[in-house]
Structure 1
Amino acid sequence: MSENVRQKAEAALAEVEEISQAILPEPVAANEIIALDQADGPVSNEIKSRMDEIDMGDTNSIVAFGSGAQAELQEISQSMLQGVRNKDVGPAGDSLRNIVTTIRGFSVSELDVRRERSWWEKLLGRAAPFAQFTARFEEVQGQIDRVTDELLGHEHTLLKDIKSLDMLYEKTLAFYDELALYIAAGEEKLKELDEKDIPAKEAEVQAAAEDKQVITAQELRDLRAARDDLERRVHDLKLTRQVTMQSLPSIRLVQENDKSLVTKINSTLVNTVPLWETQLAQAVTIQRSSEAAAAVRDANDLTNELLTANAANLRESNKMIREEMERGVFDIEAVKQANADLIGTIEESLQIADEGKTRRAAAEEDLKAMEAELRDTLASAKSRRDGTGDNAGTAVPNG
C-alpha cells in the first residue's frame, strides 16, 4: 500500500470513530398524539396554525393538508439518490473480494525457484521460476495498491452516506413529529365540524326559507363531503406516520451496516493490507535467503569435492613419484634378464659354432668320398678305351 493511501486511511480513522459513536434520538411512541385541549401553549399554537390551513370550501386544501411537511424530506432523499446507479451497488464489497482473490491467487508453491521447468513451460518459453515469482509479486503489489485506493474511495462515499443518513433520520423524525401536529389539527377540526359546524348548518337548513332550502341543503352536503374528505386525509396521515415510524429503524439499520462496513474497510486499510504486504515481503525475503543458502551449500559441496579429489590425486601421484624415486637406474630384474639372455646368446653361439664345425667335418668326409667315387668311376670308363671315356677322362684332373 502506498504511503499516500496509508496516510489517508489513518486520517479517516478519527472520522470513522466519531461517526461510529454518534447516537441518534429516539422517536416518541406512535399513539402519543396530543390533543388540542391537552397540549401546552406552544404545541397548542402549532396545532391551531395547522388548523388554519384547512379551508372546508377548498378541496385542494384538504387534499394537500400535511404535504408541506414532506417537502424537505423529499429534497434530502432525492439528493442522496441523485448519483446512484445500478453499477454502483455493492462496490465496497467487490473491492474487498478483489483483495482476497488477489492474495489467494498468489501461490506460495511458486516460491520454489530451484524447481525444474516442465516441458510445457519450456515449450512456451516461460521465465525461470524466480523471475516468474518476482513478476507475480510485482503484479500482486500493483493490484493491492489499486484496490486499496478504491477502498479508500468507497470509505469516503460511505462516510458521506452516513452523514446524509443522519440528516435523513433527523428530518424523518421531524416529519414524524410534524405529522403528529397535523393529525391533532385534523382531528380537532373534525371534532369542531361534528360538534359545531355541521349541526349549525343542519339548523340553518331547517330554518331556511323554502326557496333557499335546496341551496342550504347542498351546502350541508358539501360540508359533510368535505368533512369525510378531511377524515380520509387524517387517516392517510396516520398511515403515513406509521410508515414513517417504521422507516426510522430502517434508516438506523442501514446506517449501522454502513458504519460496520466503514470500520471494516478502515481496519483492512490500516491493519490487514499492511500485514498482507509484510507477509508477502517476508515470503520474498525467505525465498531469497533460501536461494542464498542453497548457493552457499553448493559452494561448500564443491569445496568438499575439491578437497577429497585433491587428496586422492595427491596420494596417487605421491605413490607414483616415491616409487620412481626408490627405483635404481636399472632394475635388477632387467639386469638379470639381460645377463641371462647374454649367457644364452653366448651358449647358443658356441653350440652353433660346434655344430657348424661338425657339419663341416662331415661335409669334408663326404666330399672326399664323392671325389673318390668319381675318380673310380672315371678310371673304370678309361679302361674301356672308347671315345667317350677319353673325352670324359680328359675333363677331370688327375688325382
Structure 2
Amino acid sequence: MSDTVQANAQALLTEVEKVTAVILPEPMAEVVPLEEASAPQAEEIRKRMAEVDLANTQSIISFGSAAQAELQVISQAMLQDVKNKDVGPAGDSLRKIVTTIRGFGADELDLRREASWWERLLGRAAPFAEFVAKYEEVQAQIDRITSELLTHEHTLLKDIKSLDILYEKTLTFYNELALYIAAGEAKLAETDSVTIPAKEAEVAAAPEADQVMKAQELRDLRAARDDLERRVHDLRLTRQVTMQSLPSIRLVQENDKSLVTKINSTLVNTVPLWETQLAQAVTIQRSKEAAQAVREANDLTNELLKSNAENLQQANKVVREEMERGVFDIETVKAANATLIATINESLAIADEGKARRARAEEELVKMEAELRDTLAAARARQITPAASA
C-alpha cells in the first residue's frame, strides 16, 4: 500500500471515530393532544390549526404537506448522489483484496518443494524470478484495491453524514406530523363541538328564503369536516410509514458505519500486516535460494576435495610404481632370454632338418642318376641288336 493511501487512511481515523460515535435521537411514541400538550407544544398546535380553512378545500388538501418539503429535498439529493456514483460496492473491494492475498501462494513457488507432475512433464521449475514477479503483481493489486477502498471510505462517510441529516429531517417530519395530527384532531373537535352546532343554529334561525343557502353551507361545512378527518387519517398513516423508515435509515447507517470501520481497520492495520508477511515471504524465499547456492558451493568443494584426493592417490601409486621399477624388468629379461634360446634352438633344429633334407636329396639324386643311366643303357642296347640280325 502506498504511503499516501496509508496516510489518508490514518487521517480519516479520527473522522471515522467521530462519525461512528454519533447517537441518533429516538422518536416520540404517541401524539400529544392539545389538552395535554405543554405550553410551547400547544402554541405550535394552534399555529397549525390556523392553517385549516374549512371554507377552502385546498387548505385541507395541503394540510401537513409543508412539513415534508425539506425532507423531499434531502431525499432527492441523496438519490441523485447515488445515481452519480461510479464506484462498485465497498464489500466487493474487500473481497477482492482477500482473494488477491489468497492467490499469492508462497508454497507454489518454493524452490525446495517437490515439483508437481505437470512441472516434471514440462521440465519446468519455479525460479525465484517468478516468485518476485508474483509478489510485485500482488503488491500492485493491493495498491490499486486500497486506493479503491479509500475512495469507498470517503463515499461511505459522506453517505453516513447524509443519512444523519436525512434521519434528523425524517424525525423532524415525524414530530411535525404529530403536531399536525394533534392540530387536525383539535380542529375536528372544535368543528364538531362549536362550528357545526353554530352553523346548525344559524340554519334554524335563518329566514325561510335563506334556509336553502344556509343548509348548503352546513353541508359544505360537514363535507369539509369529513375531508379534514380523512386528511388527518392520511397523516396518521404517513406518520406510521415515517416511523418505519427511521429504523431503516439507522440500519443502513449502522451497516455503513461497520463497513467504514472495517475498511479503515483494513487500511491502517490489516494491509500493512499483509504486506509485511508478503515481504517476509520474499525474504525467506531469497534466503532459501542463497542457502541453496551456498550448499551447492559446499557440495562442489567437497566433491573437488574428494576427487583431488582420489586423483592424488592414483597418481602417487603410478609414480611410485614407476620409480621402483628398474630400467628393464627382470620378467622382461627372462622372457627375452627364453625367446632368444628358443630362437637359437629353433634355428639349430631348422639347420639340422635342412642338412638331413639335403642328404636325402643327394641320395635321391644319386639314385635318380643311376636309374637314368640304366634306362639310357637299356635303350641303346635295343637299338644295336636288331641291326645285327639283319
CA distance in 2, matches of 1:151, 1:313: 68
CA contact (8 A) 1:9 1:266 kept: yes
Q: For the residues of structure 1 that align with 2:215 and 2:378, how far apart are their CA atoms? A: 215
Distance in 2, matches of 1:223 and 1:11, equals 64
Partner AA of 2:167 in structure 1: Y
Structure 2 partner of 1:276: 274
Map of 2:204 onto structure 1: 206
Seen in structure 2, the aligned counterparts of structure 1 residues 212 and 339 have a Cα distance that, compared at 3 Å, is: same
Once the two structures are superposed, the pairs formed by residues 31-110 of structure 1 within 5 Å of their partners are: 31-35=30-34, 37-85=35-83, 91-110=89-108
Alpha-carbon distance between aligned partners in 2 of 1:90 and 1:370, rounded to the nearest angstrom: 136
The 8 Å contact of residues 52 and 59 in structure 2, kept in 1 or not, is answered as yes
CA shift, 1:157, in A, is 0.7
Match among 191, 201, 214 for residue 193 of structure 1: 191
- 2:341 paired residue number: 343
Task: List runs of 5+ in structure 1 lacking aligned partners.
Answer: 387-399
Provide the residue aligned with 1:163 in structure 2: 161
Q: CA distance change for structure 1 residues 241 and 345 in 2, over 3 Å: closer, same or farther?
A: closer
Shift, 1:195, TM fit: 1.1
Give the whole-Å Cα distance in 2 for the aligned partners of 1:378 and 1:211: 214
Does the residue aligned with 1:38 lie in a helix, a strand or coil? coil
The match for 2:388 is none
Call closer, same or farther: CA 1:185–1:331 in 2, change over 3 Å.
Answer: same
Q: Deviations over 1:109-166 (max 9, x none)?
A: 43134748748868xxx99644333333222221111111111111111111111111
> What's the C-alpha RMSD, in Å, of the aligned pairs?
3.2
What secondary structure is seen at the aligned counterpart in 2 of 1:278?
Answer: helix
> Which residue number in structure 1 is paired with residue 4 of structure 2?
4
1:237 matched to which residue of 2?
Answer: 235
| C-alpha separation in 2, matches of 1:105 and 1:209 | 96
TM-score after normalising by structure 1: 0.85
1:369 to partner: Cα distance: 8.1
The one-letter code matched in structure 2 to 1:80 is M
Q: Deviation digits for residues 172-217 of structure 1, max 9, x if unmatched?
A: 2222222222112111111111111110100010110010000000
Match of 1:134 in 2: 132
CA distance in 1, matches of 2:250, 2:46: 33
| Contact in 2 for aligned 1:59/1:226 (Cα 8 Å) | yes
Measured at CA, do residues 272 and 374 of structure 1 come closer, stay the same or move farther in structure 2, by a change above 3 Å? closer
Could you tell me whether the CA contact under 8 Å between 1:110 and 1:129 is conserved in 2?
no
Distance in 1, matches of 2:375 and 2:49, equals 197
Change in 2 beyond 3 A, CA 1:196/1:339? same
What amino acid sits opposite 1:52 in the alignment? A
Written as runs of structure 1 = structure 2, the 5 A alignment for 1:115-154 is: 115=115, 118=119, 129-154=127-152
In the TM superposition, what is the alpha-carbon distance from 1:228 to its structure 2 partner? 0.9
What is the aligned partner in structure 2 of residue 22 from structure 1?
22
Largest Rg, 1 or 2: 1
After superposition, the Cα gap between the structure-2 partners of 1:307 and 1:215, relative to the gap in structure 1 and judged at 3 Å, is: same
Give the aligned residue type for 2:259: L
Match for residue 264 of structure 2?
266
The answer to whether the 8 Å contact 2:109/2:130 transfers is no
Q: Which amino acid aligns with 2:238?
A: T
- Percent identity, please: 73
